[in-house]
Amino acid sequence: MMSVLLLFVGFFAAAFGSLLGLGGGVIVVPSLLALDYIFSNAEQVSTQTAAGTSLAVMVVTGISSVIAYA
C-alpha cells in the first residue's frame, strides 16, 4: 500500500512540477516528511534524507528535460 502511495505522489509531483516548471520538490519533501503520520509502522524520514531525495529527483527531471528538448 505504501509503495502505491509513493508512486502516486511521484507521478503527481512530476506532473505538477512539469506544468509549473518546478522540480517537484514542493510535493516530494513534505510527502516524505508526512509518511510517519500516514503510516504508523513507516520509518521516520529525516529532513536531510527528504532534501537529498528531492535533489536526486530534480537531477533526473533535468536530464529528461534536456533529452526531450535537445
Predicted pLDDT of residue 23: 66
Mean pLDDT, the chain, as a whole number? Answer: 81
The domain ranges of the chain are 2-69
For residues 15-32, one letter each, b for 16 or more C-beta atoms within 10 angstroms of the residue's C-beta and e for the rest, the string is eebeeeeebbbebbbebb
Pairwise pLDDT comparison (24 vs 11), residue with the higher score: 11
21-55 pLDDT, tens per residue? Answer: 776 778 888 888 888 777 777 677 888 988 888 88
Q: Look at 8-12, 13-17, 46-50 and tell me which has the smallest mean pLDDT.
A: 13-17
Predicted pLDDT of residue 17: 75
Cα dist from 52 to 32, 57, 70, whole Å: 11, 9, 27
The model's pTM: 0.68
C-alpha cell recorded at residue 50: 527528504
3-class secondary-structure state, position 1: coil
